[in-house]
Amino acid sequence: MPPHVHPPNTALRDPSSLFYQKESNRRLIIAAYWVVLIAALPIWWKTTSIERLSLPSSRVNSQAAKQLRLPIEIALEDVSLVKHLQQELDQRREQSPLVWNGLDVTVQSKTENGSYTIVHDDNRVVASERRLTFPLRKTTVPALADTLTGLLVPRLNSHRVAHYAPRYRLAFTLLNEDAAAGDTINGWDISKAISDHLSPIFDALSVLHNFTVESQVQFHAPLAFSPRTLSEGVGLTPEDLTVFVNSAEWTLSSSVSNDPVLHFLVFVPSATRRPMYILNSQGEPTSANSFLLPQWGGIIIYNPPAEDTLQSPMRPLPPTALNTIFSKFGKQLLALLGVARLPAGVDNSHTGILTGWQLDALLRRRAFENAAEAAETLQSIVKLVNQIENMPVGQDVRGDVQDSLDALDRIYASPIKSLNATLQHSANALTLASRAFFNPGMLALLYFPTEHKFAVYMPLFASAVIPLLATAVREIAAWRRQRREAP
């Protein structure tokens, strides 16, 4: 476009002499648009971006690579056997490194605070609070090493043990299969039974878990299958036991809290189906009347004796039966919580339910489990966040992850012999890690695709920005031309 020259002999005013037609004014206006647009960009970016705080991934990875090591010190009364026992134990650790993973066993002669003591006693093998009596002779050292293995790293069916939780709810249910068929057990003195049989266990395990107890009686608890009819009574095959719990019909626990529930059921078969036996794999009745559902709870089948039936069609559970049932529940509870039995041949000194050996073994086991699981959960969070770019990571998630890492760090920093502190920190780390993992805020914008965003932005921005760009280009071109032509 040639530079325009106002026609000389006209009555009209030259538009370029008007103030709003000045070149500088027009350029200012265009520049103002661009300034607003550029100034708005950070706001736009801030309001539409997803909050993704960075997670301490290097710390998480280094934490996952760490292995928790717990020392075990054994003081032997007989100084001459110290070296021999150490050799035997080291040999066992080499044979099964997985079982002994993370444990450093040292045998010494002097007694220190927090170590286990082994004393000579020719007659008995008795475990008490961190103390063991054993016939100490050169020939019995391999046997002692075996016993110590059983005490320090007991074998457990790990599928059976419930996941660690700081608080469990124990739901006791007395189920009458069909009360209307006659002969009903309509109650039980459960408070007494619990204080007799379970309260000692609660006290012994109070460092690990708290317990909430609830109980109920049900009068109609139909089975979801029909048991096999025998010549006398009915029988439950091993397959039946796996589907024994009819969770559709039995409301076994309340749902007021999120604590894991361990169920304990007393099942009273209907008067028409007594006695009810548990069959072995050959289909023959066994004398067993209880079974354990791994990680879920324990079930006891109670067949009321025939002579009781004459008493009254409606009666509470007789105290003798209550005692047998609840001592069995006690054993089932210990099994579900992962408390190992003493190795064969070792007696309990009768001072309590659990010896220090058993409790320590459980504490160590839970600490290892929790620490490993916490580290694993943290790794999963980091991996997940890296994989999904739309996943928001808020301050609370980052805080939980950091707190969990701090708790894991404290495990290593905690006084080396305080198993309780180690467990508390590991449990804390696990709780925080799972809370971060299940944070509902991380799901918020998961399904907001980029295409959607462009579909919303394009119609507005394309049509507004194109004239802006075009004018800017034109003005810059004009400006450069002016400069070139200027003398």
Partner 1 sequence: MNPKCRRLWFSLFLPLAVLSLHNEVFDEQLNIRSLPDGKVASRFSFTTVLVGASPPTPQNHSSQDDPRHYSLFPLALGQILHEYAVTEMHLTLNAGKWNYDHWGYPDEDGVGTGAELWAWMGDGAVSTVDERWRGLRNALAGLFCASLGSLDELRTTSPTMMFAPGALSNRTSTHSLRHASLPSEHVCTENLTPFLKLLPCKSLSGIATLLNPHRLFDADWHGMGLHVSWLPQQGVQVKLTFQTISDPLRPQSSSRDWSFASVFERTIQRSCPVATSSQIVVALPFGVPYTINPQPSLVDQGHAIFDVVQSGPLDVSLHWPSGFQYSTTRLAETTFSVRRTLKGYTQDNGQLSVLLRNDEDSPVNIAYLETMPWIIQLYLHTLTLEVDGVSRNDLLQNITYIPPVPHSRATLFQIVLQIPSRSTLKLTMDITKAFLRYTEHPPDAQRGWDLPPAVFVRLDGRPQRRIYAPALLVDLATPDFSMPYNVIIFTCSLIAFIFGSVFNYLTRRFIVLPVPS
Q: Nearer to partner 1 by C-beta: 187 or 345? A: 187
In the range 248-307, which residues lie near partner 1 by CB under 8 A?
249, 251, 253-257, 307
Q: How many residues does the chain have?
A: 487
In the range 316-345, which residues lie near partner 1 by CB under 8 A?
316, 318-319
12 lies in the binding site for partner 1 (CB under 8 A): yes
In the range 205-244, which residues lie near partner 1 by CB under 8 A?
210-220, 222
From the list 91, 96, 158, 191, which residue makes contact with partner 1 (rule: CB under 8 A)? 191
From the list 72, 76, 89, 179, which residue makes contact with partner 1 (rule: CB under 8 A)? 179
Q: In angstroms, give the least distance from the CB of 306 to partner 1.
A: 10
Stretch that binds partner 1, among 3-11, 68-76, 227-235, 347-355 (CB under 8 A): 3-11
Torsional class of 459: left (φ above 0), alpha (ψ -120 to 50), beta (otherwise): alpha
Q: Nearer to partner 1 by C-beta: 190 or 411? A: 190
CA-to-CA dists, residue 461 to 70, 360, 473, angstroms:
63, 67, 18
31 lies in the binding site for partner 1 (CB under 8 A): no
Q: In angstroms, give the least distance from the CB of 458 to partner 1.
A: 8
SS3 content of the chain, % helix, strand, coil (to 5): 50, 15, 35
Q: Distance from CA of residue 336 to its chain's centroid?
A: 15
Q: In angstroms, give the least distance from the CB of 32 to partner 1.
A: 9
Q: Nearer to partner 1 by C-beta: 255 or 281? A: 255
Bridge partners (DSSP) listed for residue 196: none
For 209, the enclosing helix (H) or strand (E) is: none
481 lies in the binding site for partner 1 (CB under 8 A): no
Q: In angstroms, give the least distance from the CB of 219 to partner 1.
A: 5
Bridge partners (DSSP) listed for residue 347: 126
Q: In angstroms, give the least distance from the CB of 251 to partner 1.
A: 5
For partner 1 (CB under 8 A), the number of binding residues is 66
φ, ψ for residue 450, nearest 5 deg: -65, -35
CA-to-CA dists, residue 200 to 139, 151, 361, 363, 407, angstroms:
38, 21, 19, 18, 30
In the range 335-394, which residues lie near partner 1 by CB under 8 A?
none
Torsion of CA 223, 225, 229, 235, to 10 degrees: -70
Buried b (16+ CB within 10 A) or exposed e, 92-114: bbeeeeeebeebebebeeeeeee
Q: In angstroms, give the least distance from the CB of 252 to partner 1.
A: 9
Q: Nearer to partner 1 by C-beta: 191 or 229? A: 191
The contacts of residue 233 (CB under 8 Å, 6+ apart) are: 273, 274, 275, 276, 277, 303
Q: In angstroms, give the least distance from the CB of 116 to partner 1.
A: 32
Q: Which residue is associated with the tokens 């009915």?
A: 234
Q: Nearer to partner 1 by C-beta: 190 or 397? A: 190
Q: In angstroms, give the least distance from the CB of 293 to partner 1.
A: 20
φ, ψ for residue 217, nearest 5 deg: -120, 135
Tokens at residue 120, please?
Answer: 């000579």
Q: In angstroms, give the least distance from the CB of 260 to partner 1.
A: 14
Q: In angstroms, give the least distance from the CB of 2 to partner 1.
A: 11
In the range 157-176, which residues lie near partner 1 by CB under 8 A?
167, 174
482 lies in the binding site for partner 1 (CB under 8 A): no
110 near 77, Cβ under 8 Å? no
308 lies in the binding site for partner 1 (CB under 8 A): yes
Q: In angstroms, give the least distance from the CB of 189 to partner 1.
A: 7
Task: Work out the burial of residue 52: count CB atoms within 10 Å of its CB; fewer than 13 is exposed, 13-18 middle, 19 or more buried.
Answer: middle
Q: Nearer to partner 1 by C-beta: 316 or 343? A: 316
Tokens at residue 359, please?
Answer: 């409790």
Q: Nearer to partner 1 by C-beta: 214 or 409? A: 214
For residue 352, count other CB atoms closer than 10 A to its CB. Answer: 16
Spatial separation of the C-alpha atoms in residues 198 and 480, rounded to whole Å: 93
Residue spans of alpha helices (H) in 205-296: 238-242
Q: Which residues bind partner 1 (CB under 8 A)?
A: 4, 6-7, 10, 12, 14-16, 18, 21, 26, 29-30, 33, 167, 174, 178-180, 182, 184, 186-187, 189-191, 194, 210-220, 222, 249, 251, 253-257, 307-308, 310-316, 318-319, 455-456, 459-460, 463-464, 467-468, 471
